[in-house]
Structure 1
Amino acid sequence: MAYFLKKIAQIVPVLLIISFVVFVFVNVSGDPVVLMLPENASNEEIQAMQKAMGLDKPVIVQYGIFLLNVIQGEFGQSFIYKQQALPIVLERLPATFELMTAAIIVSIIISIPLGVLSAIKKNSPVDLFISGSSVLGKAMPNFWLGLMLVLLFSVYFQMFPVSGRGSLAHLILPAITTGTAMAAEITRMLRSKMLDVLHQDYMRTARSKGLNHFSVIYRHGLRNSLLPVITLIAINISTLVGGALVTEVVFAWPGIGQLVISAVHARDMAVVQACMFVIAILVIGANLIADLLYRVVDPRITYK
């Protein structure tokens, strides 16, 4: 328990740094008052709005006010939606969480069998094919893969919807698009780790006891290869979020990604700030969950 309290305490300075970075980017992006007022607004109206928003105060004071508002969950009002920014982002959060979870599941379903098979069939044509496919999967841009999947499975074969969210059929193509790069990376990592594990003494002992091949490989070999895979997934959550931003635009998926892209184009900085904080908390939470999973996979691990 003390370990996790320490980890949670470490989140506070991280969020402070994020808040400062967000504040700086918002300030260098331009004057939000100019966007909120009509083009023919007078200087008096601009100055009055700046005073009402506290933009006439010194920068350090503005940051202090911004930080206090963030602690209270207030990121300002969206001038597009005419309401507080955080509820708008939280309304889109389930869609993004659904897509990210599906992408992780897809990547695990693809990568674990391929990674294990590639290690078992080392230097065979099967291994070379899987390794080559992993490199290709990592190299393909999300937007290109998404468009190709839409053309092939939505337009040509008409197996899945082109865009939107609703049923499981709507989720399959976006999940594959988002999870492919992670699947490729996990496959390569798992192959490397399995090659080390297969020659360990406990694997030879398990075989000598007469255990069947499947049990030796998956119960003993795979389980002892999963720790770096969990670490890799946690590290790549931020990359997964970045991929989801592109995927949500390609498939018109109504999540945070599509929201933040439209907010950046419109320079709706209140929504951009709220999106960045929610995404940061998602990434931090994923890394905390990864720490918990270490103990589940290997009970010998202790936390100090």
Structure 2
Amino acid sequence: MDRCPPPCAGAVSWRYIGGRLATGLVAVWGAVTLVFFALNATGNPAILLVPPDAPPDEILRLTHLMGFDRPLPVQYWHFLTSVVTGTFPDSIRYGGDPLPIALEKIPASLALGLTGLLIGVLLGGVIGYVSATARSGWLSRVPLGIATGIESVPTFFIGIVLIIVFAVRLGWFPVTSTGDAASMVLPALTLAFAFIPAIARVFRTALLDVLQAEHIRTARAKGLPRHVLVWRHVVANSLGTTLNVVGIQAGVLLGGAVVTESVFGWPGIGQLSINAVQNRDYPLVIVCVLAIAVGFVLINLVVDIVAAVVEPRLRS
């Protein structure tokens, strides 16, 4: 029986998935390690957990209770053990296990992030396609130029403008988010503006490369219908590279939405992270960073697998 050569294999190998997963685990370890040493570099973390006017005895008591008086390597080993086993100190503000508190906020962040990413992919794809295929000069330049200009505007400013126009003056949407569909529109649009420019540029570049390929000229010479040529040969062969960029953008579905969630008061893990920092809730900060890092790895792993299925050349 003839064996199919690797380039035409439709399935993604376990070796490929394992390599991506191993890389993701290293990224998670790096993220939580960075947070650990950043908190310790500022001095005794126990000082962050007590009021500014707390007596020295209270600081010493909490330092010993949390183990911050141990040698740094011992603290780091205990910290990694807590991360692996999921046994974290109780939250300072909520007085319980911080892990369920963080996990409860993830669905809201995922709903907001996926909606914003979907809008960004659709609009960015349309802009990239029009810029690459339009015969009119202004159509090939103006939409992409506007998208690039929007990229230079801070996310919080876009959010504030949307609130003023569509929530305050027009009254179409609520000013603050409550977690329902109506209150998701403005923050999702704000996130989408962050996704659109990169997706549009990469998709446009990929389309232009494919349009100049030999097999496209051959398909045109054979007289293939335009819709078959565009969707089956041009767009399909441009998705692999674009999906890689989507994967990078998808990594912000949890952590990158911190600013947007803060502006709109969206009840997600980004807003919870800000509150944890403001409340000096050291255990909850660690859990939020861990949840965001793991979410980043899992989302990128899924996108990498999908991209490898669509474009087998990416597996190498």
| Common fold: TM-score over 0.5 | yes
Contact 1:139–1:181 under 8 Å retained in 2: no
- 1:74 corresponds to which residue? 87
| Cα separation, 1, equivalents of 2:217 and 2:31 | 49
| Cα separation, 2, equivalents of 1:122 and 1:192 | 16
| Cα separation, 2, equivalents of 1:301 and 1:228 | 10
In structure 2, relative to structure 1, the CA distance for the partners of 1:37 and 1:232 (3 Å cut) is closer
| Cα separation, 2, equivalents of 1:38 and 1:109 | 48
Choose which of 144, 168, 181 in structure 1 pairs with 2:157.
144
| Cα separation, 2, equivalents of 1:140 and 1:38 | 37
In structure 2, relative to structure 1, the CA distance for the partners of 1:111 and 1:234 (3 Å cut) is same
| Cα separation, 1, equivalents of 2:49 and 2:155 | 34
1:208-231: CA deviation from partner (whole Å, max 9, x where unpaired): 343332332222111111111111
- 1:29 corresponds to which residue? 42
In structure 2, relative to structure 1, the CA distance for the partners of 1:295 and 1:39 (3 Å cut) is closer
> SS of 1:264's equivalent?
helix
- How far does residue 13 in structure 1 lie from its aligned partner after superposition? 3.3
- 1:271 corresponds to which residue? 284
Q: Which runs of 4+ in 1 moved over 6 A?
A: none
* Residue 60 (1) aligns with residue 104 (2): no
The correspondence of residues 1-304 of structure 1 with structure 2, limited to 5 A, is: 1-37=14-50, 42-121=55-134, 124-239=137-252, 241=254, 243-298=256-311, 300-301=312-313, 303=315
> SS of 2:178's equivalent?
coil
Contact 1:153–1:159 under 8 Å retained in 2: yes
1:10-54: CA deviation from partner (whole Å, max 9, x where unpaired): 434333333321211121234343354566655444333322221
| Cα separation, 2, equivalents of 1:40 and 1:52 | 19
| Cα separation, 2, equivalents of 1:90 and 1:269 | 17
> SS of 1:83's equivalent?
coil
Name stretches of at least 5 consecutive residues in structure 2 with no aligned partner: 1-13
| Cα separation, 1, equivalents of 2:134 and 2:51 | 67
Q: Which structure would you say has the larger RCO, counting Cα contacts within 8 Å and 6 or more residues apart?
A: 2
Q: Percent identity?
A: 34
> SS of 2:240's equivalent?
helix
- How far does residue 247 in structure 1 lie from its aligned partner after superposition? 0.7
How many residue pairs get aligned? The number is 303
In structure 2, relative to structure 1, the CA distance for the partners of 1:15 and 1:167 (3 Å cut) is closer
> SS of 1:49's equivalent?
helix
Q: Which amino acid aligns with 2:113?
A: M
Q: Which amino acid aligns with 1:80?
A: R
Name stretches of at least 5 consecutive residues in structure 1 with no aligned partner: none
Q: CA RMSD in A?
A: 2.2
| Cα separation, 2, equivalents of 1:105 and 1:16 | 29
Q: Which amino acid aligns with 2:124?
A: S
| Cα separation, 2, equivalents of 1:2 and 1:170 | 43
Contact 1:179–1:240 under 8 Å retained in 2: no
